[in-house]
A and B are shown apart, each in its own frame.
Chain A
């Protein structure tokens, strides 16, 4: 029921936690990742990453710049060059 989500920048591992859903600003449109998503890889445009910790709660927004997202068997990994907040 939980999606493992990692946010990594060159300087450090910013997040590594289990969340409900993450909405990623992909280069060709936003996409939401839930648990059990098919393997997927996309570049990211600069924007807000929305992290939903639970189904009902309000999302936490993290501004990211330059990077790409990868969905694999072990969850979602976002590699970003710069992260704010």
Chain B
């Protein structure tokens, strides 16, 4: 049986842990609202761009002369997995879920005889990927000095990816991030970003705009070539925003659980403390009475 003093110390330490988790939970809740608003604000642009891409892509036939970002390099030997993680922990299984999804895909690709490379965004996924694939990390993008992911970061990531792509470092790129469903549910998602897949809204976009004859200036191919990198940026930006909303959601849930756990623990320890205090008092009384009787 632990002594009274020890018990008291433990109760105090659990209490201070609870304070931290509770604070982190509230911070996450506030940040979640912000991140959600940011993700929502980015939607009109992405939707418009996808629409335009769809209507353009339906007009341009993919040939050898079309931009590499759309047509691909002609092989699919080297795959780059872009893994977007957070920089901070205390968010439950958020990061490990994304990394797990990426590792599953990596094994699948390796089994098919492909080469796998990694591009890491964010800090938390690095050690795990490094341990599993020590030589496969092609590059890392540091976001530690950025508070919230903005379009500038997406731009830089996209520019770096396009540069690596043009240097022929990889043929296909997949993006791994966590899709925000709700504060309780985040889905690790995989998405092919290079070569750019034709947007799913292609049919809808074509019927909306394609009904009238649209004039292009410069011509379709040039516009498409200008649009592709922009589309890539938007996709990465969207992923970063979803990721940050997911991170806050996961953090909120995890910290809520931790706070509740700490509460239970405190209760248990307090009961134990009171019992042993009473036991000590009883023993003392018994001793005194026994002493008095002996006289």
Contacts and interface: CB of A to CB of B under 8 A. Distances in A.
Contacts of B41: 11-13
A57 interface: no
Interface string B35-47: 0001001101110
Nearest to A26: B217
Classify chain B's interface size. 20 to 34
B214 to A, nearest CB: 4
B44 A8 contact: yes
A27 to B, nearest CB: 6
Interface of B: 38, 41-42, 44-46, 48-49, 52, 150-151, 154-155, 208-209, 212-218, 222-223, 226-227, 230, 233-234, 237
Contacts of A55: none
Contacts of A70: 48, 52, 209
Given A26-B217, A40-B217, A43-B226, A11 B48 contact: no
Contacts of A72: 208-209, 212, 214
A8 B52 CA distance: 14
Contacts of A67: 230
B49 A79 contact: yes
Contacts of A66: 230
B212 A11 contact: no
Contacts of A38: 212, 215
A26 B46 CA distance: 21
Given A11-B42, A11-B151, A81-B151, A42 B216 contact: yes
Given A10-B234, A79-B45, 17 more contacts: A8-B44, A10-B45, A10-B46, A13-B45, A26-B217, A28-B217, A28-B218, A38-B215, A39-B214, A40-B214, A40-B217, A41-B216, A42-B218, A67-B230, A68-B52, A72-B208, A72-B209
A39 B38 CA distance: 31
Interface residues of A, number: 24
Contacts of B215: 38-41
Interface in A26-85: 26-28, 38-43, 66-68, 70, 72-73, 77, 79, 81
Contacts of A9: 45, 151
B112 to A, nearest CB: 35
Which 8 pairs between the two chains have the least Cβ-Cβ distance? A12-B41, A39-B214, A42-B217, A39-B212, A10-B151, A8-B45, A40-B215, A10-B45
Given A11-B151, A72-B209, A41 B52 contact: yes
Nearest to B208: A72
A38 B52 CA distance: 16
A9 B214 CA distance: 23
30 contacts: A9-B45, A9-B151, A10-B154, A10-B234, A11-B38, A11-B42, A11-B45, A11-B151, A12-B41, A13-B44, A28-B218, A38-B212, A38-B215, A39-B215, A40-B214, A40-B216, A40-B217, A41-B214, A41-B223, A42-B216, A42-B217, A42-B223, A43-B222, A66-B230, A68-B223, A73-B212, A79-B45, A79-B48, A79-B52, A81-B151
Nearest to B220: A41
